[in-house]
Amino acid sequence: MADLTTDFLGIKSPNPFWLASAPPTDKEYNVRRAFEAGWGGVVWKTLGSEGPPVVNVNGPRYGAIWGADRRLLGLNNIELITDRDLFTNLEEITRVKKDYPDRALIVSIMVPCDEESWKAILPLVEETGADGIELNFGCPHGMAERGMGSAVGQVPEYIQMVTEWCKKYYSKPVIVKLTPNITDIRNPARAAFAGGADAVSLINTINSITSVNLDAMSPEPMIDGKGTHGGYCGPAVKPIAMNMVAEIARDPQTHGLPISGIGGVTTWRDAAEFMALGAGNVQVCTAAMTYGFKVVQEMISGLSQWMDEKGYTATSDFIGKAVPNVTDWQYLNLNYVTKAQISQDDCIKCGRCYAACEDTSHQAIAMSADRTFTVKDEECVACNLCVNVCPVENCITMVEMAQGAVDPRTGREVGDYANWTTHPNNPSANLAAE
């Protein structure tokens, strides 16, 4: 069985599955149970400054979207940072870390954007013996209105400044958690890197309104007839999160900056995908909130089985392995030609490929009177929509045309690799090769 031990910033954990800073990691009781259930690490729910704790709403804190069988696809929340006393949290962190020395325990922090506030809290956190800190620059609601959370994360200069303070007053690893509510994720990552961050973690939640109550005419979750945007998370955000992770992983300016991947990780496969895109580990919240702590057991067994099947003996064997294959559109091979092929043995004759192609794509599928569906190679641009709408897995496949074969659509031979940069239709084609 593969060894899932992960070394992230020198912090060892028995597996790469950490619980993200969120309600599941709000107190000693939960965190102990999470460790007993098998979680490799925990990022303690965000601590604020000494003094009266923040307050939360007393109505619903979560909104959701569901599939037909009430499968939770996306969740949003308007909960703030911990609403428990700072010293209670610190005492609990100290006790838990002492009892679970083999697990990663990171403390998430969010205090006002001035040096004094950070200088005050960091020594207290250092005393707990926790393995590192995560700077919450991502929380998009409530705290942002007070100049914290994503209000900091949206200004790269602030990120760099606060990161520098943290490196100055704290000796262990500093992870900067990034907000996705920006235009280009690379800028805040570069700022964290410049400030000396040991790693970035992303994504935090996405500004969102999950639904509108059409009777009350208010966004959900609705508090006394009103709603506000919340932070969106869960399976629905994974594609957005993975793109942002990959953008940072392949950015030359932040090359080598460790990444903790967050955003809709629900299964072992999600974790493997994030890690292949450069994440050194993953953080999970919604899956645990949906299914409970036990869900980590599937993640552990699944990742382990997959690693065995692939011959990977350590997570470092595959971390970042997909990064070199993430490229810009302009470098994609325009001479790679495929054609959809429908397996008549597998086809159940639903006609979805036909409707999709005929109504919305390239009119490249023919339908006979007896409901036989066939691809017209002379029309097929290989867009893959038919594959995506087909309810039968692998019924429609994209078959590559060999080099030298003539594409019936264009009448041209399939040639060698060539991309847009040298394409004759590109007015700014790079002709340096000539």
Q: How far apart are CA 230 and CA 143, in angstroms?
A: 12
Q: Which is nearer to other proteins, 228 or 361 (CB)?
A: 361
Cβ contact 303:312 at 8 Å: no
Cβ contact 286:319 at 8 Å: no
Cβ contact 209:62 at 8 Å: no
SS3 367: strand
Q: How far is the CB of 346 from other proteins (least distance, A)?
A: 9
SS3 108: strand
Among the options 113, 139, 386, 395, which is catalytic? 139
Q: How far apart are CA 172 and CA 206, in angstroms?
A: 29
Which one, of 103, 104, 97, 100, lies nearest residue 128 by Cα? 97
Q: How far apart are CA 44 and CA 7, in angstroms?
A: 19
Q: Which is nearer to other proteins, 310 or 349 (CB)?
A: 349
Q: How far is the CB of 226 from other proteins (least distance, A)?
A: 24
Q: How far is the CB of 56 from other proteins (least distance, A)?
A: 31
139 is annotated as an active-site residue? yes
Q: How far is the CB of 351 from other proteins (least distance, A)?
A: 3
Q: Which is nearer to other proteins, 67 or 411 (CB)?
A: 67
Cβ contact 178:204 at 8 Å: yes
Q: Which is nearer to other proteins, 43 or 340 (CB)?
A: 340
Q: Which is nearer to other proteins, 39 or 373 (CB)?
A: 373
Q: Which is nearer to other proteins, 312 or 354 (CB)?
A: 354
CA distances from 419 to 93, 241, 315 (A): 54, 27, 34
Maximum separation of any 2 CA atoms in the chain, in Å:
77
Q: How far is the CB of 131 from other proteins (least distance, A)?
A: 44
153 DSSP 8-state letter: H
Q: Which is nearer to other proteins, 55 or 369 (CB)?
A: 369
Q: How far apart are CA 246 and CA 45, in angstroms?
A: 26
Q: How far apart are CA 117 and CA 198, in angstroms?
A: 21
Q: How far is the CB of 149 from other proteins (least distance, A)?
A: 36
Q: How far apart are CA 124 and CA 343, in angstroms?
A: 64
Interface residues toward other proteins, by CB under 8 A: 67-70, 348-352, 354-355, 367, 371, 391-392
Q: Which is nearer to other proteins, 326 or 367 (CB)?
A: 367
Sign of CA pseudo-dihedral 158, 160, 164, 170: positive
Q: How far apart are CA 295 and CA 298, in angstroms?
A: 6
Tell me which long-range contacts 408-413 makes (C-beta under 8 A, separation of at least 24).
408/377, 408/378, 409/377, 409/378, 409/379, 409/380, 409/381
Amino acid letter at 144? A
Q: How far is the CB of 216 from other proteins (least distance, A)?
A: 17
Q: How far is the CB of 355 from other proteins (least distance, A)?
A: 4
Catalytic residues: 139
